[in-house]
Chain A
Amino acid sequence: MLVNGRKMDFENITILMLLQNLNLDINKVVVEVNLEIVSKENYPDYILNGEDKVEIISFVGGG
């Protein structure tokens, strides 16, 4: 699958597992799968497949 434009090799992985794998905090991210925003509540159940294009925005503090 494509994650932020980069090819990654994962099979049957949920969004939550992907975020944990990438060491990202679920409370600081916006996740888009095939241009659709996915709600935080769905991260544990949403299973990604090989064709999916995933975009993860991870916010850092400061403003």
Chain B
Amino acid sequence: MEIFLNEKSIMVDEGSTAFSLREIFKKDADIVIYNGFIIKEDVLLKNQDRLTLIKRGEIPTMQELEGLMVSRHTPGVHEKIKNARVGIAGLGGLGSNVAVSLARIGIGYIKVIDFDVVEPSNLNRQQYFIKHIGMKKTDAINQLIAEINPFVKVETEDIFIDEKNIEGLFKSVDIIVEAFDNPNSKALLVNTVLKKMPSKIIVAASGMAGYFSNNRIVTRKVGDNFYLIGDGESEARPGCGLMAPRVAIAANHQANTVLRIIMGERDV
């Protein structure tokens, strides 16, 4: 029967178990992942099962790395994610967090767009480091993604998005994440995508400032191609700033919505 060992197809005898393959292929492996789940007790393998053997702390080769990274995904998920094409408009608190989550799950292609540079006041909620201060956000996020998951193809565009360039900028993606700070830009992007780009899906956000309840941040499906995340009213303003926890909650609502769309789950 065929099984996948570290994501590579191999033929094994009927009756093989997870631990019997560890004996043969990687005796010193102390982490055994069976169909996306770490096991402590031996299991009998079935045709098409996936098994990953990892020695804790060992640095894998680039060839091995991708297989090991996807081993915690449920089988069948990785192929779809790898083929997905996502655009992120804005690389602030929302966009940088969405980019990192999507990179970690192994999205095949991410197009990131921003016109700004990293500054100290970004570090309270955005995924950048002190060493990135002064760097273009597109370059900084590109560097971060390469360090998290070098198998993601990243395209960057250092540009201010306006009504005229939206269609061209997002031609190469299927799903667009609206991650701007400015409400006028948010409305402009959503209106343009829904009106002029009927084949695209947009995942937008509105209302995530402060430290109000986690549970007021929700995901709504407004239309077939329009998802909206946030509490709808907590605006960033004097006395009510943006902070990492709530912005990251909203960003990861967006990232999980993207993942669900990729996996064919269109309801919220």
Q: Contact between B222 and A57 (Cβ–Cβ < 8 Å)?
A: yes
Q: Contact between B223 and A63 (Cβ–Cβ < 8 Å)?
A: no
Of B3-11, B70-78, B127-135, B175-183, which binds chain A?
Answer: B175-183
Interface size class of B (residues with CB under 8 A): 35 or more
Partner of A62, one of B208, B222, B223: B208
* A28-B93 contact in complex given A57-B206, A62-B242, C-beta closer than 8 Å: no
Partner of A60, one of B190, B194, B234: B234
**Smallest distance from the beta carbon of B198 to chain A beta carbons, Å?**
10
Give per-residue flags for B181-204: 1 if the beta carbon is below 8 A from chain A beta carbons, else 0.
111101110110011000000001
Which of A27, A28, A35, A57 neighbours the largest number of chain B CB atoms within 10 Å of its CB?
A57
Partner of A28, one of B187, B208, B228, B236: B187
* Chain A residues in 8 Å Cβ range of B95: 63
Q: Contact between B205 and A55 (Cβ–Cβ < 8 Å)?
A: no
* A39-B186 contact in complex given A60-B232, A61-B181, A62-B236, C-beta closer than 8 Å: no
Q: Contact between A63 and B187 (Cβ–Cβ < 8 Å)?
A: no
Residues from 118 to 142 in B contacting A, C-beta threshold 8 Å:
none
Majority secondary structure, A binding face: mixed
B106 within 8 A of A: no
Tally chain A residues at the interface, Cβ within 8 Å: 18
Q: Contact between A61 and B222 (Cβ–Cβ < 8 Å)?
A: no
For the complex with contacts A27-B187, A59-B206, A63-B247, 12 further pairs of A-B residues with Cβ separation under 8 Å are A30-B222, A32-B222, A37-B195, A39-B191, A57-B187, A57-B206, A59-B190, A61-B182, A62-B93, A62-B208, A62-B234, A63-B90
Q: Contact between B234 and A63 (Cβ–Cβ < 8 Å)?
A: no
* Chain B residues in 8 Å Cβ range of A37: 191, 194-195, 223
